Amino acid sequence: MRCTTLAILTASALSAQQSAVDAAGSYAAAIRSLGTFFLILLGLIFLIVIALALIPLTRRHRGIEQEPLEQTHQPSHGTETRLGTMVGIATAVTILILFGLVVASVSVGKSIAGPSTHANSIAVEITGNQWWWYVRYANLDPSRIVVTANELHIPVGRPVMIRGSSNDVIHSFWVPNLQGKRDLIPSRITTLWLQADRPGRYRGQCAEFCGLQHAHMALWVVAEPAVQFESWMTHQIEPSVAPSSPDEQRGKEVFLNSGCVLCHAIQGTPANGQVGPDLTHFASRMTLAAGTLPNNKGNLSGWIADPQTIKPGTKMATVPVKSEDMQPLIDYLESLR
């Protein structure tokens, strides 16, 4: 019974939302197949080597009892030639296997480098920051450029080109269910292709140590059918919704009259800070502080009141907000769907 529970737990952990063995697209599947191939082949070789190493151990034990000492130390010419041949064969097999592994590795490397044609693909710029992800959907029409943070929506079945960079130190963009890692380097653009073949939410994680909150630098990739993706896109292009109650109106005034505007932008309002995440559609996002907390009113008030306790070292400033202004501010921000 315990074994069954353990098996179920392991299985559910393996199909988790951040897992390199639960491939959700062709690139991740190619990497997983390569990993499985390496694991099985090298596992077999390991077992064979251990078995071969155990044989002489048992023989030697018998040999000491049965043969005179000088004979075991002076092998005949025939034995020496045979041993030499075996070592030669083993070396040749080793070289062949290594060569085969290099060929397999290089061919998978090529297959995950991107699609043969860029038709039907979309391009997204991702910039690493200590400790959050700036996300911008490129478009030749400036009115259709979408800026968001810590959450990437992609259409199922379409290749997505990530153009990555960094604003400070080296980060690494990694969504294990979809693709391998790619470093995000300051003053440089690195590219990576993603493709999800089934809808789902896949967790990504910064994979290069980048300072105190490296572990709290997560991002979610939401892969959705074309229709849902297009409606998400259309909604993101729109400016922020207007406050629908006096309480939210008060919250908006609190936001615009505080230090928040120095770092954050809300389209459709004068707030145009470019240091922190764009908050135009803040309430539509799943998490706060780059995957640190689920996005809800309780967590948001804790985050605004004392960001350093939740994420020590974060660049998010502790902005003094009067206690009576906190609730309207939270209500306003959580209305920005």
For residues 208 and 224, which CB has a smaller minimum distance to ligand CUA in the complex? Answer: 208
Among residues 199, 248, 206, 243, the alpha carbon closest in space to that of 224 is found at 199
Min separation Cβ 208 and ligand CUA, Å: 5
Contact in structure between 295 and 288 (CB atoms under 8 Å): yes
Among residues 235, 224, 172, 177, the alpha carbon closest in space to that of 202 is found at 177
Q: Considering the rule CB under 6 A, would residue 164 count as an interface residue with ligand CUA?
A: no
When binding is defined by CB under 6 A, the residue of 30, 108, 148, 208 that contacts ligand CUA is 208
For residues 155 and 204, which CB has a smaller minimum distance to ligand CUA in the complex? Answer: 204
Q: Considering the rule CB under 6 A, would residue 210 count as an interface residue with ligand CUA?
A: yes
Among residues 60, 179, 158, 132, the alpha carbon closest in space to that of 277 is found at 132
Tell me the residue ranges of DSSP E strands in 195-297.
Answer: 200-205, 218-224, 287-288, 293-294
For residue 2, what are its two tokens?
Answer: 């315990």
Q: Considering the rule CB under 6 A, would residue 214 count as an interface residue with ligand CUA?
A: yes
Residues 229-288 that bind ligand CUA (CB under 6 A): none
Min separation Cβ 327 and ligand CUA, Å: 33
Q: Considering the rule CB under 6 A, would residue 206 count as an interface residue with ligand CUA?
A: yes
Q: What is the radius of gyration, based on Cα positions, of the chain?
A: 28
Q: Considering the rule CB under 6 A, would residue 315 count as an interface residue with ligand CUA?
A: no
Q: Considering the rule CB under 6 A, would residue 209 count as an interface residue with ligand CUA?
A: yes
**Separation CA 290–CA 287 (nearest Å):** 7
Residues 121-140 that bind ligand CUA (CB under 6 A): 128, 131
Q: Which stretch binds ligand CUA (CB under 6 A): 16-24, 96-104, 204-212, 271-279?
A: 204-212
Tell me, residue by residue from 166 to 195, as one string, x for binding to ligand CUA by CB under 6 A and - for no binding: -----x------------------------
The b-or-e profile of 86-110 (16+ CB within 10 A means b, else e) is eeeeeeeeeeeeeeeeeeeeeebee
Q: Which amino acid is at 2?
A: R
For residues 217 and 265, which CB has a smaller minimum distance to ligand CUA in the complex? Answer: 217
Evaluate the omega torsion of the peptide bond into residue 131 and state whether it is cis, within 30 degrees of 0: yes
Q: Which residues bind ligand CUA (CB under 6 A)?
A: 128, 131, 171, 206, 208-210, 214, 217
